[in-house]
Structure 1
Amino acid sequence: MIKRSLFFTNPAYLSTRNEQLVVNFPEESKKEKTVPIEDLGFVILENQQITLTNALLMKLVQNKTAVITCDQQHLPCSLLQPLVGHTEQTVRYRHQLDASVPLKKQLWQQTVMAKISNQAQHLKRLDKYSLKLERWAGEVKSGDTQNHEAIAAAHYFQNLFTIENFSRNQKGIPPNNLLNYGYAILRAITARAIVSSGMLPSVGIFHHNKYNAFSLADDIMEPYRPFVDALVFNIVESGCNIEELNTNIKVELLQIPAMDVEIDGKKSPLMNAMSRTTNSLYECFYGSSRKILYPEFG
């Protein structure tokens, strides 16, 4: 079942009753609304005047619903996840922590190859120059010692948008604002899947900044980025105003968990595909597999 995403932009009081999320508004004219908690995958809290009960938070966590809060710039800044995400969590932590350096280098090689290949396929679908990316995808070595990931990303964004002076930079000109928001949603999806698969999102296979609590999420989300890029590209091409990250654009970007992607010849919503990816990653740590399952852009 595809889990729902709820996005709160206005002041509200959120509580629970009979296994439902109950929404009440300050305006007397607005009626109370309820949503089954079991249907929820993500709850995004943007407005600073939203109040939640502890009982609701407990039920959301028990349901493995990712609760995302936003900062004053309306960008996701925190993610609430359960302390126990899997029944075999302790054993799975051990396999993850014991992963050898050669294995992690091979996993990063697969990740970079999948990302560059998906970037190439995205450009190709748009009838843009993709030959260099297609070649680089096959030249990535163990551990990506030649840094093909960064080189390919720079080339990809130079060819993706026909916007003067555009380059991929978190603080750069639009549509960087849209990409930032989309990637933040994707990061939350990835972290949720990692925890549900019984692994630590802070222990990466490549990213390892001591201040980063989501290093593994930043690793595993890489091949999924082109799917976000495709959605952002369509928004830009629609001609709407992208200077401001308005509610309509955010609603479009909140389609990311439900986007159709294909893994191993089978289509599924992105959030379900991410669970397949993280489960396959654990199998690599466990030793029963040597390949991470990533989606192919088509």
Structure 2
Amino acid sequence: MIKKTLYFGNPAYLSLKLGQMVIKLPEIAKNETLPERMKQQGEITKPIEDIGIVVLDNKQVTITQGLLEALLETNSAIITCDKRSMPVGLMLPLCGNTVQSERFRDQIDASLPLKKQLWQQTVKAKIRNQTSVLTICTGKEIKNMRRWENDVKSGDTDNLEGRAAAYYWKTIFSGIKELDGFTRDREGIPPNNLLNYGYAILRAVVARALVSSGMLPTLGIHHHNRYNAYCLADDIMEPYRPYVDEIVFSLIKEYGYDNIQELTKEMKIRLLSIPTTDVIINGKRSPLMIAVSQTTASLYRCFNGELRRISYPEI
């Protein structure tokens, strides 16, 4: 079942009652000019088991400890946003799998050659999907990217990921005059703001799936940053990033460059649809959130020796 993503951008009081999330909207409930029938819509319930991600994007959102506990028990991810509406925090359950300690050991004991091979597969899948997105966005066949994909070695010792990324970002928006020479930078000009938002949602989806598969999202196969609690999530999300890039490209085409300087409600809605975006994995069409779970399940089976290849989607 596809889990729902709930976004709260207005004041709200969130609590738990009889296994349901109770959503109270004070702006509606306290409005004396509204008829009673409409006031009743100021309180909504959602089944806890249907929720996968909760985004809190208003300083006047209150959430009870009981609801937090219930959400984490069902492996939900909770994202908090700053005053610019950009995601800054992620809460995940500590225990997401019944045999978690055994899976931790398999992950920790993974050999360096295995991790290098898994990173090679990850980089190849990322470049492959970047190439497909470039073809979609530019209408041209990108032969050098195909060549770089085929040339990736174990551990990507030649840093073809970086070479491909430099070309990718220089090319993807080349048809948009204002973005000539665009570079990817978290603090850079738009559409970096849209990319940051989309990647944060994707990161939460991947981290949640890793915990559900019984792995530590902190221990990466390639990323190793002492200040990063989600190194493995950052590794595994790499081949999924181009799906976000394609959505951002479509938003620029639809709204125009001058209208993406600030994230609007409509843009957030499109980016919050990332978990339900259709992808092709193992030859079958699947929502991205379900595909990520297949990816993380296959990753663990690589750690315990059952498989030799991670299942990644293809655009």
Q: For the superposition of Structure 1 and Structure 2, which TM-score range results when normalised by the shorter chain?
A: over 0.9
Answering whether residue 107 of structure 2 is matched by residue 96 of structure 1, we say: yes
Q: Which residue of 2 aligns with 1:77?
A: 88
* 1:258 maps to which of 276, 294, 300: 276
Q: CA deviation at 1:129?
A: 4.8
| C-alpha distance in structure 2 between counterparts of 1:248 and 1:48, whole Å | 20
Answering whether residue 248 of structure 2 is matched by residue 223 of structure 1, we say: no
What amino acid does structure 1 have at the position aligned with 2:311?
Answer: L
Q: CA deviation at 1:72?
A: 2.0
TM-score by length of 2: 0.92
What amino acid does structure 2 have at the position aligned with 1:174?
Answer: P
Give aligned pairs, total. Answer: 297
RMSD: 1.0
Q: Give the greater-gyration-radius structure (CA).
A: 2
TM-score by length of 1: 0.98
Structure 1 unpaired stretches of 5+: none
> Which residues in structure 2 correspond to 1:1-298 (within 5 Å)?
1-27=1-27, 28-29=30-31, 30=39, 31-126=42-137, 127-162=139-174, 163-240=179-256, 241-297=259-315
Structure 2 unpaired stretches of 5+: 32-38
Any conservation in 2 of the 1:128–1:160 contact (CA below 8 Å)? no
Deviations 1:75-129 (A, max 9, x none): 1111111111000100000000000000000000000000001111111223135
Which ranges of 4 or more aligned residues in structure 1 deviate by more than 4 Å? Answer: none
Deviations 1:115-172 (A, max 9, x none): 0011111112231351111110000000000100011011011110032342111111
What amino acid does structure 2 have at the position aligned with 1:18?
Answer: L
Q: CA deviation at 1:265?
A: 0.2
| C-alpha distance in structure 2 between counterparts of 1:114 and 1:100, whole Å | 21
Any conservation in 2 of the 1:42–1:67 contact (CA below 8 Å)? yes
Any conservation in 2 of the 1:7–1:46 contact (CA below 8 Å)? yes
Q: Taking every aligned residue pair, what percent have the same amino acid on both sides?
A: 57
1:118 aligned counterpart, secondary structure: helix
| C-alpha distance in structure 2 between counterparts of 1:219 and 1:37, whole Å | 29
Q: Which residue of 1 aligns with 2:36?
A: none
When structure 1 is superposed on structure 2, of 115-124 and 70-79 the one drifting more is 70-79
| C-alpha distance in structure 2 between counterparts of 1:252 and 1:225, whole Å | 15
When structure 1 is superposed on structure 2, of 127-136 and 150-159 the one drifting more is 127-136
